[in-house]
Chains A and B, each alone.
Chain A
Amino acid sequence: MKRRDEGYILIYVLVVVVVLCAIVTGVCTVALRNLQTQERSIQRTRALYEAEGAIEELIAQLETYETGVQDGDEGDAKDNFEAYAKGRPDITAASKKLETDQTTWKWEDRDVNGDTKAILLIPIATAVPDSQIVISTTLEVLPHIKDKSTTKTETIDGVEAEVTEEKYQISGAAVTYTSYQIIDQAEASDET
């Protein structure tokens, strides 16, 4: 029986073609993945700085606020600062959203020099597509008495009473990031 050996070159060529295709596909896939990863990294960087900027802005606004307390204690000043921080709509800019409604603000008294520590949990939705950052921060604010004045008033009964008014202002603030969560919605949808 005669064996036909022609046509082997086509098989060699097909093998070469398959190997070439595999190599090129692999190289292209790696390059595209690399680009996608880089683009996501840029989105995260943008979201990160928007979020940090929002916190910085909040502190800057807080430091300009002055609260007066009459015959009250420091606790009233803290409450006022908290209410002020939560109620500032101008902190919410178009590019970023500081969700002050969801802000958990817990004050902790410290013994040293009457400094006050506030724990501020701020979820921040940034304008960066598909990226949301949830930051838990410890915001350490230092309220100090700016002015203290005592006025004497006479009551109806003719008894003299003293009313003390204290003006508090935040003299400094420091933020420590306790947790940092970047929610990449595009990546999450890719995984599902």
Chain B
Amino acid sequence: MSRGKQNKTDGFSLVEVLTAIAVLGFVVVPACTGLVLSFRVNARSEQLMRAELAVSRAVETLMAEGYDHDGDYTTRFPEVAVTATADLDSGSDPVIGYDLTVTSRGGDVEVHTYVRPAESGGGGT
């Protein structure tokens, strides 16, 4: 078969290929950015979930056992920071409870609650 008789549809023209690459480029770049973004969003969700679980675990334990003023909660709950303010009955001893703030280490989750002292046997719930 001579070159002159070659079918005009064989292969793609250079213009077609270049146009296709350009169009794909316009789409693939934002698509990849979107995918990367969604991976980051997923990672953030997982981070929040872990923080929430850690905070819940600490709060549930403290509500059940009560707060011990001398307790080492930094070692016991390394993923959270526990802050307690004593609630004194009419401004004097004994401490009837603690206003408790439990914050995840990243600061994503912060929970405020009230717990009883450990010596009182914890919460009534």
Contacts and interface: CB of A to CB of B under 8 A. Distances in A.
Interface footprint category on A: 35 or more
A185 B89 CA distance: 36
Contacts of A55: 125
Interface in A4-48: 5-7, 9-10, 12-14, 16-17, 20-21, 23-25, 27-28, 30-32, 34-35, 38-39, 41-42, 45-46
A45 B55 contact: yes
A25 B27 CA distance: 12
B109 A24 contact: no
Contacts, number: 134
B97 A57 contact: yes
A146 B3 CA distance: 115
A41 B52 contact: yes
Contacts of A69: none
B124 A64 contact: no
Interface in A82-115: 93, 95-96
A70 B56 CA distance: 46
A60 B45 contact: no
Nearest to A56: B114
B44 interface: yes
Given A17-B27, A54-B114, 9 more contacts: A7-B16, A10-B19, A34-B41, A35-B44, A42-B48, A45-B111, A50-B111, A56-B125, A174-B125
A52 B24 contact: no
B100 A175 contact: no
Given A56-B124, A60-B96, A174-B124, A28 B37 contact: yes
A45 B52 contact: yes
Contacts of A6: 8-9, 13, 16
A113 B35 CA distance: 66
A164 B65 CA distance: 40
B112 A46 contact: yes
A150 to B, nearest CB: 29
B16 A21 contact: no
A42 B56 CA distance: 10
B38 interface: yes
Given A10-B23, A39-B48, A45-B56, A31 B41 contact: yes
A34 B52 contact: no
A101 to B, nearest CB: 20
B8 to A, nearest CB: 7
A52 B34 CA distance: 41
B99 to A, nearest CB: 8
Q: Which of A16, A27, A32, A60 has the most CB of B within 10 A?
A: A60
B113 A53 contact: yes
A89 B39 CA distance: 48
Contact of B124 (A23, A95, A175): A175
Contact of B28 (A9, A20, A61, A96): A20
